[in-house]
A and B are shown apart, each in its own frame.
Chain A
Amino acid sequence: MKPYALFKKDYHSELRTRYAINSLVMFIIVALSVILFSIGNEKIPQNLTAGLLWVVIFFSAMSGLSRAFVSEEERGTSLILHLIAAPTTIFSGKLLFNLILVFLMNIIITILYSVLFEEFIIRNFLLFFLTFILSNIGLAIASTIIAAIISKAGAKGTLYPVLSFPILLPLILISVMLTSYSMVGTSFADAVIELAVLACYDVIMLTISYMLFDFIWKD
């Protein structure tokens, strides 16, 4: 229950400060508008449609998900967390917050994307649903641990996407591929290997994050 209490604190803090939500919403609107205006009346191929969806998701995540640790560091409140909870509790609480934020953000992005882009038609919904779930979990885990790493650095804003890109690249590539598959209507059996890779990515990231967090957090 301690991680949930930390999540609740972050949730109430977010409602008061709007540290992440405002930047996320603005980024989603701007990114989708730019893509929409640049495409105009052109018909875009399916794999490009899937790729653009993940471009919006990746950069939106970069604009808001670092707040988990960066806001504590910037406001100088991370010392309180050191004094009231164990590192695992802190990571779990921050991960829970980022998981919910990622899911909410990506549900909104996907809905807006499907409304604005008529080429974005999902033919294998179950495949897309599983891709969406596994990708979001991976994105939340990776974003949370990267946020913890960069929170103590000087140029946080620049470092976050730079460090995230190589770590998130396998996730993004497979997510784009699986989104294309679900748009084409590829059967579930033909996409099992890619889904398994995505699930492995999540498990590896989660394990590494819990193993590393103690060291990152302490000094």
Chain B
Amino acid sequence: MRVWAAMAVAAMVVFAAPAYAAPREQLVIGVSQFPSTLHPAVNPEAIKSYTMGFGLRPISAFDSDWKNTCLQCTELPSLANGLARMEGHGMAVTVKLRSGLLWGDGVPVTAGDLAFMWKLGHDPESGFADLSYWLRVDSIEVIDDLTAVMHLNQPWTQFDHLPGMLPEHLEAKAAAAGKQPGDYAKQSLYARAPTTPGLYNGPYRITQYDSGTQVVLEPNPYWHGTAPGFRRIVIRAIENTAALQANLQSGDVDFAPGDAPSLTLDQVLALRRQHPDAWTYLFKPALSYEHIDLNLDNPILADIRVRRALLLALDRRTLADRLFEGMQPVAASFVTPLDPMHDNAVPVQPYDPVRARALLAEAGWRPGPDGICRNARGERLSLEFGTTAGNRVRELAQLVMKDQWRAVGVEALVKNDPARTFFGETVKRRQFSAMAMYAWSTGISYPPRQVLASDQIPTASNNWGGSNYMGFRDAGMDAAILTAETDLDPGHQRAAWAAMQRIYAEQLPALPLFFRADAYVLPKWLKGVRPTGHSDYSSLWAEDWHAE
């Protein structure tokens, strides 16, 4: 027995040393997902974009003030400065790169790298997840090492959102080696050898890649901008968010970002209540838009009075205050108030159960003996209400809304599915009979064709493509989307965006709920992190992060 006890004590002495004090020259970021690939154009994932933000810079990006800014260019193209001009049925957009830009192996970044990106992006067999940008570009003309002209086949209002580039000197071989469709994505060094220095042109480059576990970044010696503040940044994936929180508390993780998948909003709010002074907490309203899609083919929901009554019966502000401590603003439409195209003339509908009941009565729905409304044929006002099962906050909100609707005589029948079934079948194939609650994410002032245009309604004939799950058809909306996409006149664009928001608020193809907030937990010593709230993540300005 004594021998065993002695061995146990010895083992403790050897292995159980106190954790080392976190050196301030290293920052460990805790996230709950791991990127499936590091190739910037294959598989769009928030965690991938966040990770690559440290090492690979696009030519332009929206900053934390939601202003499009040059990261690798000298100035943004515009009609006013002549770098963008109309030509034929399309446009010519001149891109001027900064001089002195280098890849992580010392090779200069050139306009040829942009042309190489276009060549791959234009090839439907490259495996790029978003060809839509590149299919608008008919050709790229390389003028000199720092200048290229993109020839667009039609006017495009997003022409000044300039893309990323790929290192041609490294990736050309992989592109040439592809024999089967999709081979390039497999052969790319971003997949096969992601620690190759020349793949990166940002302040950090990836020096260690442990698939599924962690990515280690160290300063890029060929970066000419502000010197990075850390000797090492570790992005560690801990899938279980309870374990992730414990890692934060133990000091194994320093920082939980809000713009990458990490701690949930309710976890951060709880952490702030328990340890208000232990960390710095930041909350940034974001582009993700939580809403309830209404299936407009449902005869009950085809009546606009019922749709309005459903919205008026919801006390969204109290819900946001109680569940999210007021961090998630209530939505008036799909456009966040932070977006330059937001129209203040479209107000948030108030909570008005009296008006809701009146609208239902006007639509022929009168309360029955159990309080649930019935129509003249005796049919109950009963609607299925689904969301992603297992999402605790959503399910909690769902129960509150169910009660609020019941108070005005609407019966909501909860029918939730696992996320995979919900997105893979229920909404994708429009199998929800009435209401489906989830979130959209989009870009700043990005025209909402995919979700609101009538040509994007999923059907068997289009192989269930498009995301207009509501089945919304409105000629005014279609025209406004087209204008927002192609009319370069700023006044026309603003009018089109105002029309889209007005039509959306009037027609209510979906019930607007909230705009999500990104919740950050930072160590007190970490400075310089500026949450953006959109898909150009804060990591794109990581050279400003430092310890104090």
A binds B: no
A contact set with B: CB distance below 8 Å: none
B contact set with A: CB distance below 8 Å: none
